[in-house]
Amino acid sequence: MNLKQVSHIIALAETLSFSKAAANVHLSQSALSKSIALLEEEIGIQIFERTTNKVEVTPSGRHVLAHARHLWSEATNFRKNIEYLKTGALGGVSVGSGPFPATCYLDAAVREFHTRYPKVSLTLNINHWGNLLTELHAGKIDFFMADIRNIDDDPMLDFTPVGGLTLALFCDRNHPLVADDPQRLIAPTEILDYTLASVSLPTPVFLELKQSMGLGHNDTFAVNIECDDIALINRLIPGSDILFVSSNLMMEEKFCSNDVVKLNIPMARNRFGEWALVKIKNRTLTPSASLLADLLVDLIRTGSAADNEKHGFAGNKPLNFLTQNKPWPAS
């Protein structure tokens, strides 16, 4: 039995006419009759009662046709879904992200992707890069985006550089450092007396931030509150003396509202991280996952360039996707 034969018995059941059914399936009457007879012989059930003047479905044939119609429907859906998968219009994507890329870009990417491919299901995992790497190797996510400065060079991984964001320190509008003058120039050593909150930054990023502000080796500059839930940190800032290391892009709306102030601290440069989209080398992404990955790469690269243009300092290194001197693990 094959799907063509299934389509033949359905066509005959719908018309109860060999001539009409044959025309509908683009066969001669003799070819259609032979196809149906072979199917009846194969399954050992007479589906149709044939007389000179008419064709009728047998009682057993009605049960066969019920299954046949279900099978044909499933086959039709299968072909349609395969076509969707080839074009990325259907399927599922599981993507991971570090907290900064997620907060700054993932929402826009998901909205745009959902608009284009509303039938694709998405699973989003916002997590520490180490956990995301474990999930990637286990096949639980298709790819992830994160700062990769702490990821060892791994021949199994493929890295697509996407840029990174400028950083600054932020605090509540009534913080002692800015209460009298939000724009005043603050000496880096002044911040050492206060609690510092941040997502889990790679060690090189934190050291470079410290050096950029001109703090010395003996200056105790450390994160006191580390949390990868940025929304939670944002809720800690109002009415407290906590300082928050964050991106200019992510905090832009907050310090425009005058609730949060960006500290005016001299810095040699203000972009330190190296973001990339990470996947398993030679593991082919599904069409849907590939489309989402391409969308994210374009979105983050464009956003990184705009952020650097607006907030970047002259001492910043070129964005990693614009240079061949790659300061990230080799792919």
From 130-134, 183-187, 255-259, the region with the lowest mean pLDDT: 255-259
Q: What is the pLDDT of residue 172?
A: 93
pLDDT at residue 148 is higher than 70:
yes
- Gap between the Cα atoms of 47 and 45, Å rounded: 6
- Residue 296's pLDDT is 96
Domain housing 310: 91-165+273-322
Same domain, 137 and 61: no
pLDDT value for 109: 95
> What local confidence, expressed as pLDDT, does residue 327 receive?
46
What is the rounded distance in angstroms from the CA atom of residue 132 to the CA atom of residue 117?
25
Lowest mean pLDDT, pick from 14-18, 96-100, 215-219, 318-322: 215-219
Q: Of 34, 67, 87, at which residue does a domain stop?
A: 87
Task: Note the pLDDT of residue 78.
Answer: 78
In this predicted structure, the answer to whether residue 84 has a pLDDT above a threshold of 70 is: no
Cα 106 versus chain centre, distance: 7
Which DSSP state fits 238? T
Residues 214 and 242 in one domain: yes
Residue where a domain stops, chosen among 242, 262, 282? 262
Region for 16 from its dihedrals, namely left if φ exceeds 0, alpha if ψ lies in -120 to 50, beta otherwise? left
Q: Are residues 185 and 253 in the same domain?
A: yes
pLDDT of residue 257: 65
- pLDDT for the residue 89: 66
In percent, the amount of the chain with pLDDT more than 90 equals 62
Same domain, 209 and 224: yes
pLDDT digits (tens, 9 = 90+) for 258-291: 788 999 999 999 998 899 999 999 888 888 899 9
181 and 245 Cβ atoms separated by less than 8 Å: no
Domain boundary among 62, 87, 112: 87
Q: Is residue 158 part of a domain?
A: yes
CATH at residue 41: 1.10.10.10
pLDDT at 284: 82
d(CA 213, CA 183): 17
Buried-state track 6-37, b at ≥16 Cβ within 10 A, e below 16: bbbbbbbbeeeebeebbebeebeeeebbebbe
Domains of the chain: total = 3
| 161 lies in some domain | yes
CA distance linking residue 121 with residue 114, whole number of Å = 9
Give all strands of the β-sheet with 120-126 in edge-to-edge order. Answer: 120-126, 91-97, 143-147, 275-280, 157-163
The pLDDT of residue 221 is: 84
Q: Say how far apart CA 242 and CA 155 lie, in whole Å.
A: 41
Q: How far apart are CA 51 and CA 48, in angstroms?
A: 10
Q: Is residue 16 within 8 Å of 54, Cβ to Cβ? A: yes
pLDDT, mean of residues 287-313: 94
- Structure tokens given for 5: 């034969």
Q: Do 184 and 223 have their domain in common?
A: yes
With a cut of 90, say whether residue 17 has pLDDT above it: yes
Rounded to the nearest 5 degrees, what angle is found at the Cα of 312, between the Cα atoms of 301 and 210? 110
Average pLDDT score over residue span 60-87: 81
Average pLDDT over residues 129-141: 91
The predicted pLDDT at position 331 comes to 37
- Does 328 have pLDDT greater than 70? no
Model confidence at 25, in pLDDT bands (50, 70, 90)?
very high
Q: What are 152-155's contacts with CB under 8 Å, separation 24+?
A: 152/329, 153/329, 153/330, 154/329, 155/281
Instruction: Please report whether residue 221 resides in a domain.
Output: yes
Asked whether residue 330 carries a pLDDT value surpassing 60, the answer given is: no
Selected residue with higher pLDDT from 77 and 97: 97
Whether residue 210 has pLDDT greater than 50: yes
Same domain, 283 and 139: yes
Q: Is the pLDDT confidence value at 37 over 90?
A: yes
> Is the pTM value of this prediction over 0.75?
no
Per-residue pLDDT band at 87 (split at 50, 70, 90): confident
Between 201 and 5, where is the model more confident? Answer: 5
In terms of domains, do 250 and 311 share one?
Answer: no
Tens digit of each residue's pLDDT (9 = 90 or more) over 245-257? 999 988 887 656 6
pLDDT over 90 (residue 51): no
Q: Which CATH number do you get for residue 197? A: 3.40.190.10
